[in-house]
A and B are shown apart, each in its own frame.
Chain A
Amino acid sequence: MHIPISTLTLGNGLRVVLSEDHTAPIVAVNLWYHVGSANERPGRTGFAHLFEHMLFQGSADVAANEHFELVARAGGTLNGSTWLDRTNYFETVPSNQLELALWLEANRMGWLLPAMTQQKLDTQRDVVQNERRWSMDNQPYGSWWEKLPALAYPPEHPFHHSLIGSMTDLDAASLEDVAAFFATYYTPDNAVLTIAGDFDAAAAQALVEKHFGGIPRGSGKPPLPDMTLPPTFGGWKREVVEDDVMLPRLFLGFRTPAFGTPDYYAASVCAAVLGMRKGSRLHRILVRERQVASDAGAFTYDLSKGADLLVVDVTARPEISADRLEEEVAALVDELHGVGVTEAEVARAAALIETELVAALQSAGERADRLSMFATYFGDPALINRQLEAYAAVTAEDVTRFAQARLGPDNRVSLLYVPRGAPGSESLVEAEAHA
């Protein structure tokens, strides 16, 4: 499997990635801005995401919500998403509508501000506050999204604070903030544009130049503070959370090498050995054999700056206490830390990762998003074609060495959710004090 790639850079610094595939008359347009919640200033948590909502509120030639309507009328799908260190916007449209998607993206990259109004900001603030209520505040265990990064990254670190933002900070966001954020971060030299699917390369290049070429380069963004962190947490930081939940659930996090570094792949395979699918250690031992968990998994955040986070996520069976759940998970992780992994476990993980990657790359939108990601983080979209190789090169010794270095009791943070008012929940809260 080889994804064809060509690249160019416009005079204003916009990096463009093209990847042709003519199997269906579909084309994906995908734009990554290298800005996320990490770039927010104090007192404005949640702003990067609120700003993403504002990008759908029109621009000089596009009315509020018209972006959605035009793409739908063209027979396309679209969305945007905000993450700790990037924000993306994307459309998949019938290939004859490529220029519409480019025009829409260019119009808001170049001429957003004339369309911004206080009323639009107020409404999107309400929408985002409802998004927070729906995804976190009124969701069992929902606060883990906010609490885990807060535990795992020190207070001054850009990944520490809430991505969705506090209600107070969202209330404080102003139109001046919108204008300043736009001028600083939404510039062509801070973005990658990928086009993947059914298009003619020369025609697409001309369209990109026509729509984006006149947008001026930015004047630079403030650098993020130094994000490097020691390789381990230096202990086990525990937090016990009483919540409106029925079953205890443990999130156990480990500091791991940043996404894209050579050691990242061992960490990623280790997460798959631990928690990818039902043949993983967590599921096989805790769910199937010992029957102490009703569900179990593990994953990495895939953060490319400073340090990444590997997370083990296990929910108890109804008769299992929170204490017992934590003991069982810790015993399993301790064994992996002490003894390491087998070759069969690594082979299983690599095979699953390979199938998942090939399956994902069937879709033009997925292909475009990953090309934008590799171009944004590492300046090299062709890394997409080296992922299978990088995973295949990971040996059992690599994963064992990773587990010995990073899964020990000196490198843990945990959130233990307990049902509110459950017997024993108070003593658990006390246990936190001597952790």
Chain B
Amino acid sequence: MSATPGLTSAPRPPRPEAAPPRPYHFPQFEHRILANGMRLIVAPVPKLPIATVLMLAEGGAAADPSGREGVAQLTAQLLLEGSEHIDGASLTEQLELLGATAGASADWDVAVVRCTALVENLPRALEILGGVLRAPAFPEREVDRLKAERIADLLQLRADPGALADETFARVAYADGSRYALPAGGNEQTVRAIVRGDVQRFYEERYCPEAMTVIVAGAMTVDESEQLITRLFADWRGTPPRATRIDDAPGARTRRVHLVSKPEAPQSELRVGHVGVPRAHPDYFAIVVMNAILGGLFSSRINLNLREQHGYTYGAHTGFDWRRHAGPFGADTAVKSDVTDAAIREIIAEIERMREMPVSAEELSLATSYLDGVFPIRYETTDAIASAIANLEVYGLGDAWLDRYRERVRAVTVEDVQRAARAHLRPEELQVVVVGDPAVVREKLESLGIGPVTVVDSER
């Protein structure tokens, strides 16, 4: 061995070949339907003595009544603030004494009460959660408190360049009046307008056993789970909710630059994108592979360009936000202020190149072999397994979807990728949001010549 540290004289072992892969199957799961129509899906995963339970209701933010945006998230949070039998503080204490990690939230499409606990404690934790899910009290005091906490969050957002960029991008990407133009949690005006009666009404309309699904993943058998969930919920009755239809129309159809002023900011937060496509779109797999190449992977075109070639940023990504209706597509990054214009030029050029030129066979195989190979690594925890099953339900993908995922990813071709890029990337319609220092970036943005520059009022 060499005596000089840092210089290894031993022969270098050659680059290895992969061994044959071992098979993997997503955990098997079974369906049950309770007498009241509530659905139950159980995935027994006996590895560790732990389980995750998700209770899904049709109470996502897309169902918010106009002028009361934010009520869906508030309602979900308020479920854990007590019933007529127990107040929120005691409920929290009892769950936490059981070591249960419990929470309730609403995304755009669905409300979910989630609980992870050691299996020995899970039945008692679910009894507590089942009780409030069936008969929440929505105490006036807690309605007011959680509204005030949301308003504090919105206030914080004004000083947070990344959050401000996200909020502004949604507002300019969607048409005025579209639900997706406002934050899922509502804005200050709509949250202030919410009263307890709005929450009660939303709950009565959206949380009904006929339209709910309970998912259990972990060290529980199908029979144990069925007995437990039947005992907690089978005698609960309700009226099914109506389907939600929302407006996902884009805002401007021409390229524009929206500058949110943050004087002396050392970086510019950038969002560059437009309205994307609904989750159930037939091009889903081609889009996922195309996005991986464009900006989804570390070795994607946009990250290698902005980070590794130019050193403009710590990281740059693109993504499609998958929802029942068309969520946004966009690139996001934060770049040093003096290269704001150059970074935007590179992002737009990469989006255009994706449409104009076929990707190479190497790029395609990198994306597909990554998405194929990483599949088992995504489902190591009971929470991840339960969440994957929840997606099947929320987006109506069918039970075979996870089992077919890998072959469908592998089937995507160079032509599919280009077709998806041409159909779903629209460079002329990109909305560019910059949260940055106008003294440094404004003139540069104007001389970039990609579209009119407007200064946006961040306090709206």
Name A's B-contacting residues (CB within 8 A). 1, 12, 21, 23-26, 60-61, 64-65, 68-69, 72-77, 92-100, 103, 106-107, 110-111, 113, 122-131, 133-135, 137-140, 179, 182-184, 187, 198, 210-211, 214-219, 244-247, 277-279, 284, 287-289, 291, 294-295, 315, 317-318, 344, 347-348, 351-352, 354-356, 358-359, 361-364
The answer to whether A65 and B116 touch across the interface, beta carbons within 8 angstroms, is no
The answer to whether A214 and B1 touch across the interface, beta carbons within 8 angstroms, is yes
CA distance A361 to B48 in the complex (A): 9
- Within the complex, which residue of B18, B117, B148 is in contact with A96, where a contact is CB–CB below 8 Å? B18
- Shortest beta-carbon distance, A276 to chain B, in Å? 8
Q: Is B411 an interface residue, CB under 8 A from the partner? A: no
The answer to whether A355 and B299 touch across the interface, beta carbons within 8 angstroms, is no
Beyond A61-B15, A95-B22, whether A354 also contacts B8 by CB under 8 A is no
The answer to whether B145 and A352 touch across the interface, beta carbons within 8 angstroms, is no
The answer to whether A65 and B101 touch across the interface, beta carbons within 8 angstroms, is no
The answer to whether B2 and A216 touch across the interface, beta carbons within 8 angstroms, is yes
The answer to whether B145 and A355 touch across the interface, beta carbons within 8 angstroms, is no
Name B's A-contacting residues (CB within 8 A). 1-13, 15-16, 18-24, 47-50, 88-89, 92-93, 95-101, 116-118, 121, 145, 148-149, 151-153, 155-156, 158-161, 262, 265-267, 269, 297-299, 304, 307-314, 334-336, 365-366, 369-370, 372-377, 379-383
- Within the complex, which residue of A65, A210, A214, A287 is in contact with B304, where a contact is CB–CB below 8 Å? A65
The answer to whether A214 and B24 touch across the interface, beta carbons within 8 angstroms, is no
The answer to whether B366 and A130 touch across the interface, beta carbons within 8 angstroms, is no
Nearest residue, chain A, Cβ from B145? A291
CA distance A278 to B95 in the complex (A): 10
The answer to whether B314 and A72 touch across the interface, beta carbons within 8 angstroms, is no
Nearest residue, chain B, Cβ from A102? B16
- Shortest beta-carbon distance, A60 to chain B, in Å? 6
Contacts of A277 in B (CB 8 A): 92, 96, 101
CA distance A78 to B410 in the complex (A): 22
- Within the complex, which residue of B159, B265, B379 is in contact with A245, where a contact is CB–CB below 8 Å? B159
Beyond A25-B376, A26-B380, A362-B382, whether A99 also contacts B16 by CB under 8 A is yes
Contacts of B89 in A (CB 8 A): 279, 284, 288-289
- Shortest beta-carbon distance, A72 to chain B, in Å? 4
- Shortest beta-carbon distance, B263 to chain A, in Å? 9
CA distance A129 to B313 in the complex (A): 9
The answer to whether A1 and B10 touch across the interface, beta carbons within 8 angstroms, is no
Nearest residue, chain A, Cβ from B144? A291
Interface pairs (6), CB distance under 8 Å: A97-B19, A103-B16, A133-B334, A247-B156, A289-B89, A295-B149
- Shortest beta-carbon distance, B143 to chain A, in Å? 13
Nearest residue, chain B, Cβ from A124? B311
The answer to whether A354 and B99 touch across the interface, beta carbons within 8 angstroms, is yes
- Shortest beta-carbon distance, A248 to chain B, in Å? 11
Contacts of A247 in B (CB 8 A): 152, 155-156
Nearest residue, chain B, Cβ from A344? B97
Contacts of A61 in B (CB 8 A): 12, 15
The answer to whether B23 and A97 touch across the interface, beta carbons within 8 angstroms, is no
CA distance A231 to B60 in the complex (A): 51
- Shortest beta-carbon distance, B434 to chain A, in Å? 13
Contacts of A138 in B (CB 8 A): 161, 265-267, 269, 334
